[in-house]
Amino acid sequence: MTDGEGGLPPVSGTPASTPPPGPPLGPGARPWKPTPVEARRAPSRPGAWLGVLLGVVALGSCAVGGAVLFGALGAVGGGGAGPGGRVVAREVSGSGRERIAVVPVRGMIASGGGMVLSAVVTAQEVREYLKQAAEDASVRAVVLEVESPGGEVTACDLIHGDVKRLRTESRKPVVAYLEGVAASGGYYISAPADRIIAYPTTVTGSIGVILQFLNLSGAAEKWGVSRVTVASGAHKDVGDMFRPFTDEDRRIFLPLVEDMHERFVDVVASGRERAGLTREEAAALADGRPMTATAAKDAKLVDKLGTFDDAVAEARRLAGISEATVIRYGRVSLFGGLLGARAPDPPAASAALAALQGLATPRAFYLFTR
């Protein structure tokens, strides 16, 4: 529709240059012009304090906080190849009826929800790949392809358990192939494999636990923001982002971290026992240090250095087969595999609040932070 025949579409949404409604101008009346104040006036923004807090989050959050942000938004938004997708197997190389299945673990490992970025992979997704490999009679061995700095403790432990069961119950050998960064939780899920092969430039190790969360008490005090909490016990609100973190809070959290750390040491010692690594040696390595592939091999954390093809050859050898078709698991969406198909985005305010809550929730990670 146009403003008169041959005219241009009407312009709307410009209150600063349009006179307010009223009677027509009389003789000698001056046309209306916006005053400097009216011209500069911005619409009111309720909840400005939330914007301040989110600004603090954006400026001050660390690598772990950013990772939790992706996970929190994923749980709300459900984009990408989420849990609703169908597992598919794509042929990569080789030939024959026997198969070597490649299970990719690429990105930070999160517990649940969908994925917002390819930098986040869920435990559910990886476990479904492992389940598919266990149930497929034509799959004779698995290559666990790890490019991950680790992630949430429980997510890593769930994958670790499935890798272990694949070996012991399904009797299918597993070769872990470490590429790029395969550290902390990335190594945790690899430890039970029959063989661990690392690319020569891989960064691995970083055996340990880190617990991080945001504390906004200083910013809240500065901007006059507070939250009223009614709790059933003296420590029910431990870690609350709106109150200072105390030495007593640290004493409460420390046993949790130490317990998860001991579990990590047990996992490494048990998984690498076949390589001659003792628990005492595993404990000595579990100080969080990142390691080169060569150093990890010298420390018995890695069996040998090699490429992806070397990992596939090792998997064939362990399975006792001379040739095999290499397949790689992936997903197609419920929308027929169309790229970019995704559920509607949530309201921006809801996503922001969910992200803020995720960043402020104390979580333990098997994670290599840089």
Residues that are catalytic = 184, 236
Render 173-200 in DSSP notation, one character per residue: -EEEEEEEEE-THHHHTTTTSSEEEE-T
Q: State how far the Cα of 215 lies from the Cα of 238, in Å rounded to an integer.
A: 11
The whole-angstrom separation of Cα 344 and Cα 353 is 17
Residue listed under structure tokens 């500065």: 222
- Distance CA(271)–CA(281), nearest Å, equals 13
Look at residue 150 and give its three-state secondary structure: strand
| Token couple for 367 | 């994670």
The partner residues of 143 in beta bridges, in order of sequence, read 102, 175
The tokens of 167 are what? 């070996």
- Pairing of the two strands 174-182 and 304-305: unpaired
DSSP state of 369: -
CA distance 269 to 45: 56
- For the chain, how big is the Rg over CA atoms in Å? 28
